Structure 1
Amino acid sequence: MKLSAPVHQLKRKSKRLARDENIPLHQALDRTARAEGFDAWSLLVAKMAAASPAGKLFGGLAPGDLVLLAARPGHGKTLMGLELAVEAMRSGHRSVFFSLEYTEKDVQDCFRAIGVEWPRFDGLFTFDGSDAISADHMIERLGTAPRGTLAVVDYLQLLDQRRENPDLAVQVRALKAFARDKGLIIVFISQIDRSYDPASRPLPDLRDVRLPNPLDLKLFDKGCFLNDGEFRFQAVN
């Protein structure tokens, strides 16, 4: 069954419904699912999971990879990041979600939106919403992480926003060396520049990554670019 809109857009619709009618998000999600022909949101998500690019993308990642996950706002990049975390945990690996934007409750809501219950992965998933997130902070937190751990960073452009943090390029180089040494996978959620026009190209690419400060994007091993439910996965180097 084809949905009337991509899952990330249906989730936004549900959040508006929950706010407008003052009902719990899970009730709004279920109401949206019924409008799409499913009895519950969990059934809609389960049906769409087979078509999700997260499984394919995760299968193309290897320990030591630095990954760029980029899209315009509202096109599902955060959900994709969490879906990758879920794929890692289903494979028996740990996942860590570092965010300078989301709260723990926001992340719990995102898990529900992709049809996953947070307690299911008790002991495998860690959320870190510290204001001190930087390369040094993440390296310290991941110092004892086992090989194969997948870390999601939300998001790239905020890492050097604090004046006391090193330049973005310095931080990314440090994390690249750390990931390779420890055998970790680090996924950076990234913004796309406002100048990107989907009318000229259906999917953004490296040229469209928003860089308020200099950064050599060849530091990344792989990239995934999203727009309107479509995606492109490519090697950067």
Structure 2
Amino acid sequence: MSAWIVPLAFAILVWWFSTGVILWLDGFSKKFFRPIFFASCVLLFFAFWGISISSTQDTVLGAYCAFTCAILIWGWQELAFLLGYITGSRRVLCPADAKGWQRAWYAFQTINHHELALLVLGIVLAVLHVDAVNTTGLWAFVILWVMRQSAKINIFLGVLNLNERFLPDHLKYLQTYFRRRPMNYLMPFSVVLAVIVVTPLWIDIFTATESAFALTSKTLLATLLSLGILEHILLVLPFSSEGLWKWGFREGR
């Protein structure tokens, strides 16, 4: 039964550490942005290479490798966004008179290139996993994509904690497209639906007698989805989650 503890701890550590590293890299002076982005592109190539190999291996090591590579791929697009290389076609403040669907369209324009990049990455991963015996990496990316899309929409509709400090100075205009509210009507549905999906996974992990690979893969994915739920909840609690990555922030971002 304790076989799930190691992948649980691994997923939490990778989630926490990778987020902090991205924030730390984004805190460098702009003169370092190009070499940082170039290095991340090299790492992206090796992440795709690693996931193409691990997708053919239904082993515990294969599950860890696929999961880690998926996080690296996701981290690349997050870093590309925060560095300002892949954001959107609109990079100005939201007009004060913009409301309803017009405001939503303006908000989408600020991240449309970013969303296209996510779609391309997802398609490449899907192609790499045709006839794969290890789909851990693909599902990890899907979980990250779905939960991040949900978080974006909830932040647009309004939450208590906007986590403004995560945005560097050159992306501060995005704050004008957010709303600060104690709660919005979508948030409860987002959390409940995610809980409905993750609960059978945890039940299966604790009760089923599966192979070490299947147990490791499911635990990694269930933990990642659970962390996504936690991130949603932290958006509406009366304290910020920024303290979790205090070590990754630099002054003057």
Tell me the TM-score normalized by structure 2: 0.27
- The structure with the greater share of residues assigned to strand is 1
Larger radius of gyration: 2
- The structure with the greater share of residues assigned to helix is 2
Tell me the TM-score normalized by structure 1: 0.29
Which structure has more RCO (C-alpha within 8 Å, separation ≥ 6)?
A: 2
